């Protein structure tokens, strides 16, 4: 298949998925079903027709307004569709069509939804993290069955070659465990919540999908990005030292960096320290 055709197909599918993510981003924080009722204008409740739901095209054709009541449509809808479409296209260039593409497409879609929900509502819906964990476990199971993935070998008494543990399960336990430990220590030492339950579950989902080294790298990048943004907001007077900043979007950014550039960043670091 020509590269341009593969990218085009991935881009179109990504735009369609992005349209569905907009439904999730609106409804999940409000505990509404993502299936029923059908898509409708949140202002006038008019059911939307097919011509109103063409990703990106409908938004531009209607100049960002509802066709029926004229209410303004937030640019977030267009942004999510475009971002997801670009993500799928770049993902194809990196991995081609295959198991890795499918797993990272599904997991990445959940990350995009988490980014926008946590940024606005300061919550990470459990459904999205559990979905991400399920994707990681499924990918690992299929890979092990097809012998395209290898388990981690953990030293264990009586087992010469080490105890085989699927990468996804090891990632869930290690990454989720680290964030749980940080949350417990923060609560008892600093007498306040350092990390929420949503962050812990998201960490487990990231561990289920990324190689363990890449997952840990993503957390380091998330902390670095969060620190820079936090300092900038304090300097601009937008936040004080006591204010919280949602950490989920930083974790999403770190995870996406790990998906695309994890190996390269780790290699650069090893070269820098002489390993």
**Same domain, yes or no, for 50 and 85?**
yes
Residue 149 DSSP one-character state: S
- Residue 212 corresponds to which tokens in the numbers above? 């363990």
3-state secondary structure of 98: coil
Number of domains in the chain: 2
Do 89 and 110 lie in one domain? The reply is no
Instruction: For residues 93 and 107, state if they share a domain.
Output: no
What pLDDT shows up at residue 2? 85
Q: What is the pLDDT, as a whole number, of residue 194?
A: 67
> Are 275 and 145 contacting, i.e. CB atoms less than 8 angstroms apart?
no
Domain boundary among 97, 123, 138: 97
CA 215 and chain centroid, separation: 12
CB proximity list for 248: less than 8 A, separation 6 or greater: 114, 115, 117, 118, 119, 124, 198, 199, 202
pLDDT in the model for residue 231: 79
164 and 254 inside one domain: yes
- The whole-model pTM stands at 0.92
Domain residues for the domain of 141 are 99-275
**What are the φ/ψ torsions at residue 2 (nearest 5 degrees)?**
-60, 145
160: enclosing H helix or E strand: strand 159-165
What pLDDT score was predicted for residue 273?
72
pLDDT in tens, 133-170: 999 999 999 999 988 888 888 777 767 777 888 999 99
Average pLDDT, the chain: 89
- The answer on 139 and 93 residing in a single domain is no
Give the integer Cα–Cα distance in Å for 230 and 235. Answer: 9
pLDDT higher for 102 or 229? 102
Taking a C-beta distance cutoff of 8 angstroms, is the pair 168, 209 a contact?
A: yes
Same domain, 163 and 208: yes
List Cβ neighbours of 29 (8 Å cut-off, separation of 6 or more): 117, 120, 121, 123, 125
Domain boundary among 79, 97, 115: 97
Q: Does the pLDDT of residue 69 top 80, yes or no?
A: yes
183 and 91 part of one domain: no
Alpha-carbon span 170 to 33, nearest angstrom: 33
Same domain, 106 and 90: no
The pLDDT score that the predictor gives to residue 41 is 81
Angle, CA of 67, 72 and 78, to the nearest 5°? 90
| Same structural domain, 258 and 275 | yes
pLDDT grade for 262, boundaries at 50, 70 and 90: confident
269 pLDDT band (50/70/90 cuts)? confident
- The strand pairing partners of 72, in sequence order, are 65
* Alpha-carbon gap, residue 127 to 202, rounded angstroms: 10
Average pLDDT over residues 209-238: 87
* Confidence band, pLDDT 50/70/90 cuts, at residue 99: very high
Instruction: Tell me the average pLDDT across 232-250.
Output: 77
pLDDT score of 50 more than 90: no
Q: Please report, rounded to a whole number, the percentage of residues in the chain having pLDDT higher than 90.
A: 57
- Comparison of pLDDT for 250 and 190, the residue scoring more: 250
| C-alpha distances out from residue 200 to 1, 55, 165, 173, 174, Å | 41, 33, 21, 11, 11
pLDDT at 186 over 90: no
Averaged over 46-66, what is the pLDDT? 88
**Helix (H/G/I), strand (E/B), else coil: 152:** strand
pLDDT at 274: 67
Same-domain pairing of 31 and 58: yes
- Where is the domain boundary, 97, 113, 137? 97
Are residue 36 and residue 142 in the same domain, yes or no? no
Average pLDDT over residues 22-45: 88
Same domain, 122 and 159: yes
* Structure tokens given for 98: 């295959």
Distance, CA of 257 to chain centre: 11
With a pLDDT cut of 70, the percent of the chain lying above it is: 95
């Amino acid at each position: 298949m020509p590269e341009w055709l593969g990218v085009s197909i991935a881009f179109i599918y990504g735009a369609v998925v992005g349209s569905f993510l907009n439904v999730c981003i609106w409804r999940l924080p409000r505990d509404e079903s993502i299936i029923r009722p059908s898509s409708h204008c949140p202002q006038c409740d008019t059911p939307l027709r097919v011509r109103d739901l063409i990703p990106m095209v409908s938004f531009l054709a209607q100049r960002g307004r509802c066709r029926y009541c004229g209410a303004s449509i937030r640019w977030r809808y267009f942004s999510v569709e475009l971002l997801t479409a670009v993500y799928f296209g770049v993902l194809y260039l990196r991995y081609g069509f295959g198991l890795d593409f499918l797993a990272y497409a599904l997991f990445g879609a959940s990350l995009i939804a988490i980014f926008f929900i946590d940024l606005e509502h300061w919550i990470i819906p459990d459904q999205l993290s559990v979905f991400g964990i399920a994707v990681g476990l499924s990918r690992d199971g299929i890979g092990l069955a097809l012998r395209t993935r290898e388990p981690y070998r953990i030293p264990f008494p009586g087992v010469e070659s080490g105890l085989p543990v699927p990468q996804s399960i090891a990632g869930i336990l290690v990454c989720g465990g680290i964030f749980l430990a940080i949350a417990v220590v923060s609560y008892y030492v600093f007498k306040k919540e350092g990390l929420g339950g949503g962050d812990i579950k998201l960490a487990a989902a990231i561990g289920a999908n990324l190689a363990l080294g890449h997952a840990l790298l993503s957390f380091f990048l998330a902390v670095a990005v969060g620190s820079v943004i936090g300092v900038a907001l304090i300097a601009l007077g937008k936040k004080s030292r006591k204010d919280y900043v949602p950490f989920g979007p930083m974790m999403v950014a770190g995870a996406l960096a790990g998906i695309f550039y994890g190996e390269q960043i780790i290699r650069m670091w090893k070269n820098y320290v002489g390993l």
